Amino acid sequence: HSTNGFWKSVARHIPREPSEMRILNPYFIQEAAFRFIGLPHNNGKMGRGNIPTLGTVAITMALHNCDEVDVAGFGYDMSTPHAPLHYYEKIKMAAIKQVPVT
């Protein structure tokens, strides 16, 4: 088997019962990337530069399945460059301006 494109081999066994599993339809990832936030299409291929965040995918799923969706905590305050970008890492807000968009 090939591991090209993966950082490690795909799992052959998942220690969970089928009733505990859910499979995410890739439609929601593409819908979030291309229609909801307008990331580049790259001929329909998902890859570097056009993968939406899990939060954006969750909002997209909610918009398809719920009558009403409330969203809080999204967005970046670029006026505070020394504030943390995410709660779980030490990267600062200023890092967003340093990443070239292709």
- Smallest CA-to-CA distance from 58 within 39, 35, 32 is with 32
Q: Which residues contact 84 (CB under 8 A, 6 or more apart)?
A: 90, 91, 92, 93
4: confidence class by pLDDT, cuts 50, 70, 90: low
Say if CB 92 and CB 79 are below 8 A apart. no
**pLDDT tens per residue across span 14-67:** 899 989 988 888 889 888 888 888 877 777 666 666 778 888 899 999 999 999
Q: What pLDDT does 62 receive?
A: 94
Tokens 């859910």 locate to 22
The pLDDT tens digits of the residues spanning 59-75 come to 999 999 999 999 887 77
Sequence-distant (6+) residues with CB within 8 A of 95 are 85
Q: How far apart are CA 85 and CA 52, in angstroms?
A: 16
For residues 64 and 49, give the distance between their C-alpha atoms in angstroms, rounded to a whole number: 24
**Between residues 94 and 2, the one the model is more confident about:** 94
pTM across the whole model? 0.55
Q: What angle do CA 90, 96, 98 make, to 5 degrees?
A: 105
Band (pLDDT 50/70/90 cuts) for residue 80 is: confident
